[in-house]
Structure 1
Amino acid sequence: EAGIGVILDLVFNHSGESDRYGATLSMRGIDNLSYYRHAQGEPGLLINDTGTGNTLACDHPEVRRLIVDTLRHFVIHAGVDGFRFDLAPILGRTSNGFDADSETLTAMLEDEVLKDRVMIAEPWDIGPGGYQLGNFPEKFLEWNDRARDDIRRYWRGDEWTTGALATRLAGSSDLFSGHTRTVNFLAAHDGFTLMDLVSNEHKHNEANGEDNRDGHGDNMSWNNGTEGVTRDRDILADRRRDAEALLSTLFASRGTIMLTMGDEAGRSQRGNNNAYAQDNEITWMDWATLDEALVEHTAMLSALRKRFSVFSETSLLTGDGDIEWISPSGQPMQVSDWENPANPVLGFMLKTDDATTGKATRLAIIINRGHTPQTFALPGLNWRCYPDNQPWDTALAPRSVRFCIEN
């Protein structure tokens, strides 16, 4: 009734029984050889494609039945709208590696109760051939870490990233064909929060008790002038500005978007990018310190996606009448624009229906990742800014994304 669906995150790749030295809690005591994957010819050696010490044998009929029955239970008895699968290639693994047409993946998609549910894959595990982004069956949406990384690199200021960003904004045609199945995101439950991404060049995991050795070291992050916590108002304003720009870029992209709770409000984990074991102020949501300006900005972006039909479409943007890439002169981008390694600006126009007016129109999205103002002309005469409805005056502020509607 409220228009909110429920997606349940499930882990069908390992159990809490760890490696061969772990406790016997459930499946190990029932049928160790059937429920877990073992090395060929070595029944005492557990395969570890998950990093937890064991890997479920999802191609075994009994494990397949366990998975499908569990999914059916949550749909029938809880009304769940869909599922996100942790380390999802495990679901499609056989003795020969990942198989998108495996019996288990097929059973999940063809079951009468499950066939209309949303299915989302985290398309990687740590086993051989474990990175399977773009290779899941057509009904699956897939977490797109390349979109995450390319958006981050672009706003960090890395050279030669304009083309990569355009590919992600248009639906990732290098990964999907026909229509996009991408789930674009900036941050997830693992890694930096969005605010930590623009506040830290390095991870700060000392509280985890491993001398900061844990957690990923390459976060494609920056700190806007000082590392971590600061009271400098200019630096804090720059961090919010960058968070707004990153959010605007995400919400302007073709495909499904994912936003981690708290990122719309400036939540921080004090630079800790591996905080799964912290049940304290590091990970708790501090409701008293929410950034209301960032919340309002995110709400504006959400309303934008709801208003314009182009953001609910799934076809890949190809440039064949659906999108136009434009330079600051308002003219189509040239090879020299694409090949400028430090190009600070990127503009594009989308054909779309406007739910507010009931008419077809064009929506222009203009990006300036540079640290100085830019002048950006739009073709035609009557462009107004969203959401303030002011005429577009060609002035593009540093580190900003602007939206304009043609009237």
Structure 2
Amino acid sequence: RVDGGFDPDAPLLQAIAGDPVLADRVLIAEPWDIGPNGYQLGNFRPPYLEWNDRCRDDIRRFWRGDAGAIGALATRLAGSSDVFATESQPTSRTVNFIAAHDGMTLADIVAYERKHNEANGEQNGDGHNGNLSWNNGVEGETDDEAISLARSNDRRALLATLFASRGTIMLTAGDEFGRTQKGNNNAYAQDNAITWLDWAGRDQALEQYTASLSALRRAFPALAGTWFLTGAPGDGSEIPDVSWLTETGAPLGEADWNDAGRHRLVMLLGDSERGRLAILVNGDRRQCVFSLPGREGFEWRPAIEGQPDIARPLSGRSVNFMIEQRAVKARSRRVPNG
């Protein structure tokens, strides 16, 4: 801030970006502050990246099951051009995340519909009330196997969506293995078991799944790309950089985008070197067989070992990744998943 409010060319911001020690570091802004006009998402200048709370909220809304959330999800997956695209800025500066150091943990988002900050000593009056969270039927801890499975699937879906979102992603330590704060969303003053990482009790299957997502993101650069997608082929390629499809493999039309009850889509990414990668999102509670457009001499194979083949139904509330590979030549190595 300077006198009069926010200034993207403030002397401090320029000094940091021009400092010989700091200039080549990754500079990230948390673009909101208390006071008038404190919310400034998208208004910093390069090289600053920005925490994108709209991405956080739209992903949570989609997986909570909110109506009419499919278009916002696609925008966040594609790098939030509505926030960051300008004539002078051909790439996104988004930092996508689902949970951060404050607020609910990723695991708590699917287990607590409301905050539980009683341990903070303020009669649960501190912390945000709007968490865009859900509990899958019971508030907090449960021995119900069906609810526990639903929560496990939701955690995987949230992580997969994060790793499928273009731009820079941020994962809070411990969320990769299901850390919990028992619903506390303002635990900054808790130096105890509420915030300590439970290394012995971590969800190792979820941890391995997260590692598989990370390996896939490294192996397919288009997943982490920062350039804005156009739907047209890139230079020297006949493959569009993105296609948005229904579960039948048909292009999403205007009626589909505006269908408040739609909870499924396919983001089909094209890469001139690696071919095509399909991200299948089934936000519906019902399983569904997805269809993908084929090319002669190619076939679709699971990108992560253990995920279903394209011919098998995709479980409800889940995400699958499919890579297009040549049908005759040796297939690319799939990413292992424990």
Judge same fold: TM > 0.5, yes or no. Answer: yes
Which structure's relative contact order is higher, taking Cα pairs within 8 Å and 6+ residues apart? 2
Cα distance, 1:206–1:391 mapped onto 2, change above 3 Å: closer
Contact 2:163 2:169 in 1 (8 A): yes
Contact 1:374 1:398 in 2 (8 A): yes
Task: Provide structure 2 residue ranges, at least 5 long, that are not aligned to the other structure.
Answer: 233-239, 326-338
Counting only pairs closer than 5 Å after superposition, residues 2-401 of structure 1 correspond to structure 2 as 93-177=1-85, 178-320=90-232, 321-352=240-271, 359-380=273-294, 382-388=299-305, 391-401=309-319
Contact 2:165 2:224 in 1 (8 A): no
Identity percentage of aligned residues: 57
Partner SS state of residue 256, structure 2: helix
Deviation at 1:324, TM superposition (A): 0.2
Deviation at 1:233, TM superposition (A): 1.6
RMSD: 1.3
Contact 1:170 1:318 in 2 (8 A): no
Deviation at 1:311, TM superposition (A): 2.6
Whole-angstrom distance in 2 between the partners of 1:348 and 1:234: 29
Whole-angstrom distance in 2 between the partners of 1:109 and 1:136: 12
TM-score normalised to structure 2 length: 0.89
Deviation at 1:190, TM superposition (A): 0.4
**Structure 1 runs of 4+ with >3 Å offset:** none
Count of residue correspondences: 310
Partner SS state of residue 128, structure 1: coil
Q: Aligned AA for 1:351?
A: G
Contact 1:364 1:403 in 2 (8 A): yes
After TM superposition, the structure 1 stretch with the greater mean CA deviation from structure 2, 318-327 or 206-215, is: 318-327
Whole-angstrom distance in 2 between the partners of 1:173 and 1:391: 32
Give the corresponding residue for 1:49: none
Partner SS state of residue 219, structure 1: coil
After TM superposition, the structure 1 stretch with the greater mean CA deviation from structure 2, 378-387 or 323-332, is: 378-387
TM-score normalised to structure 1 length: 0.74
Whole-angstrom distance in 2 between the partners of 1:394 and 1:378: 13
Whole-angstrom distance in 2 between the partners of 1:112 and 1:261: 30
Whole-angstrom distance in 1 between the partners of 2:75 and 2:31: 19
Deviation at 1:312, TM superposition (A): 3.4
Partner SS state of residue 277, structure 1: coil
1:185-212 C-alpha deviation (Å, 9 max, x unpaired):
0100101001100000011111111111
1:245-285 C-alpha deviation (Å, 9 max, x unpaired):
00000000010000001111111101111111111111111
Deviation at 1:360, TM superposition (A): 2.8
